[in-house]
Chain A
Amino acid sequence: KAGVTQTPRYLIKTRGQQVTLSCSPISGHRSVSWYQQTPGQGLQFLFEYFSETQRNKGNFPGRFSGRQFSNSRSEMNVSTLELGDSALYLCASSFLISGTGNTEAFFGQGTRLTVV
């Protein structure tokens, strides 16, 4: 079974530009979450999509947006990039463990975004 696939792996962008990151979850997983990881702040939640709908959102500005397609693939967009957006962006694919009410999340390799 293939894991979570994120593309691209690395990106260098200039301040003010926008960027789109892609995530393909594990086959059969319908929930996709996005996280930002920086050395100072650790892992912070951006948003979660389930069945093409944004189900939850973290405390990030509106420059950060996302969407999910009918095949569960998700994209994340950051507009008007700032130097502080440099980070590792991680996508997590989740599934509900049958009979437990618990979910487990698996991360992709991440996209390393550098804003210069």
Chain B
Amino acid sequence: QKEVEQNSGPLSVPEGAIASLNCTYSDRGSQSFFWYRQYSGKSPELIMSIYSNGDKEDGRFTAQLNKASQYVSLLIRDSQPSDSATYLCAGPGSQGNLIFGKGTKLSVKP
């Protein structure tokens, strides 16, 4: 059974700080991972995808994948109150689906 695990938080950071969100996965053969952002009462929005070891940067967001440690992270630089949301980590399931962590709730304080 493939699993994706996240620290549920909540994670609270001051405005302008770096928020670090982490995720571990059980299947060593998994190749692709995704970060979704979900605002309260809304649906998940894909914000980052990463397919190879190392870092991938997109604006204030950096996704990191470490296959040896089976670890995925998302860094949000210069955090803004509008970044306050639940962040979901997802990886490939065994049925062609995505499996999701339970999500980390991030709160950015002005």
> A102-B32, A104-B49 are known contacts. Are A45 and B44 too (CB-CB below 8 A)?
no
Are A56 and B42 touching (Cβ within 8 A)?
no
Contact check: which of B46, B95, B102 meets A58 at CB < 8 Å? B95
> A104-B34, A105-B98 are known contacts. Are A45 and B46 too (CB-CB below 8 A)?
no
Interface size class of A (residues with CB under 8 A): 20 to 34
In the complex, whether A75 has a CB less than 8 A from a CB of chain B is no
- Nearest to A4 among chain B residues (CB) is B43
Interface size class of B (residues with CB under 8 A): 20 to 34
Are B45 and A56 touching (Cβ within 8 A)?
no
Interface flags for A58-97 (1: CB within 8 Å of B; 0: not) read: 1000000000000000000000000000001010100000
Are B42 and A109 touching (Cβ within 8 A)?
yes
The smallest C-beta distance from B56 to any residue of chain A, in angstroms, reads 13
CA distance A58 to B42 in the complex (A): 23
Contact check: which of B31, B45, B97 meets A45 at CB < 8 Å? B97
Q: Besides the contacts A43-B44, A58-B97, what 17 more A-B pairs have beta carbons closer than 8 Å? A: A33-B98, A42-B101, A43-B88, A45-B93, A45-B95, A48-B96, A55-B96, A56-B95, A56-B96, A56-B97, A57-B95, A88-B43, A90-B43, A102-B32, A104-B49, A106-B46, A107-B44
**Could you list which residues of chain A lie within 8 angstroms of chain B, going by C-beta atoms?**
33, 42-43, 45, 48, 55-58, 88, 90, 92, 100, 102, 104-110
